[in-house]
A = this chain, B = another copy of it.
Amino acid sequence: MPTLTTTPRQDGFRMPAEFEPHTGCWMLWPQRSDNWRSGAKPAQQAFTKVAITISQFEPVTVGVCPEQYQNARQKLPASIRVVEILADDAWMRDVGPTFVINDNGDVRGVDWGFNAWGGLKGGIYFPWDQDVLVAQKVLEIERVKRYKAPLILEGGSIHVDGQGAAITTEECLLHPNRNPQLFKAQIEQYLKDYLNVETVIWLGQGVYNDETNGHIDNLCCFIRPGEVALTWTDDPHDPQYAISEDAYQRLQAATDARGRRLKIHKLHQPGPLYLTEAESQGIDQVEGSQPRRTGSRLPASYVNFYIANGGVVMPLFDDPHDQAAQTALQALFPDRKVVGLPSREILLGGGNIHCITQQQPSGI
């Protein structure tokens, strides 16, 4: 499929909000034993549950490395499409394309640069050569034209409201291990060109101890135009407190592309949660891969949910805050069915339900 030399903005394409209609959802199949414990088998079960749940709302395709093809095809129900895509890990949000649409119902895809969340200066593993190809492979399968964006960016580091505003964090997008040659204004211009937005709302840090360098999708997201959900803690001694408080202040001060003030919904975080010794011991230790140490704080957040057609699939942590978070989310999405899934296993790998999914908008 052709790679275009223009930008979505030039061609009248924009990234729609996640709550706009989808043709389906893309995921990848976890397998690397230096990130997922016990040979990734518990993670595969957790991903399978996410895929099955989303497939009740919209078609799901799971990309899988060749050596796991047969296993994934057997473990996933027949209603889920399984295609071969070699990847270095399983974060479709970050390595997949960002789909953009125009007013005619056409769909195209943005293929960002990728360096495993920081390359040789703090990245999570080495190499990441197969991750780099995932977005293009998805677009080829779907016969969708491709924009190749000239900057390093993961899909989890941006959110849009579908009405001209994007939200992101300085911690991630201005991190020197991503695009050190670009000033903030240049990065903002690329967001405007490739997402086709007018306004970029900059928060500061992401969730405490988030190895992605503070992806927005673990901290805050649009639930509809003019409204956001923000992970929160009432405990002033928790290092997350100052981060969420700063985000709250910035959100209160912001206006979106249509001049609206934002309505901010706080979702109290679980925990705090920590990696157990048993969990740590199940993970292979490999030079160049992020170590997973016993006792390290896990960046758990209820904001890391996926919005499907008619549904919301949210993480649960077997935590006292679970019920309140699910009740709150259901109130925020009265027209969608909110389904909670135990997702500590996904969290152990460094992300959550939003990080392992990528919506494909329908364009109409």
Contact = CB atoms under 8 A, between A and B. Distances in A.
6 A-B pairs with the lowest CB-CB distances in the bound complex, closest first: A66-B86, A2-B78, A84-B84, A82-B140, A81-B140, A83-B141
A1 B133 contact: no
B137 A84 contact: yes
A140 B86 contact: no
Contacts of A85: 84
A130 interface: yes
A359 B232 CA distance: 56
A130 B69 CA distance: 10
Given A66-B66, A86-B66, A81 B143 contact: yes
Contacts of A169: none
A81 B137 contact: no
Interface of A: 1-3, 66, 69-70, 73, 78-79, 81-86, 130, 133, 136-137, 140-141, 143
Contacts of A1: 78, 81
Nearest to A85: B84
A78 B141 contact: no
- In this complex, the member of A66, A69, A84 whose beta carbon has the largest number of chain B beta carbons within 10 angstroms is A84
A154 to B, nearest CB: 21
Contact of A69 (B69, B79, B133): B133
Nearest to A67: B86
A311 to B, nearest CB: 21
A3 B84 contact: no
Contacts of A140: 73, 81-83
A205 B79 CA distance: 43
Contacts of A78: 1-3
Contacts of A84: 84-86, 137
A133 B3 contact: no
Contact of A137 (B79, B83, B137): B83
A85 B78 CA distance: 19
A81 to B, nearest CB: 5
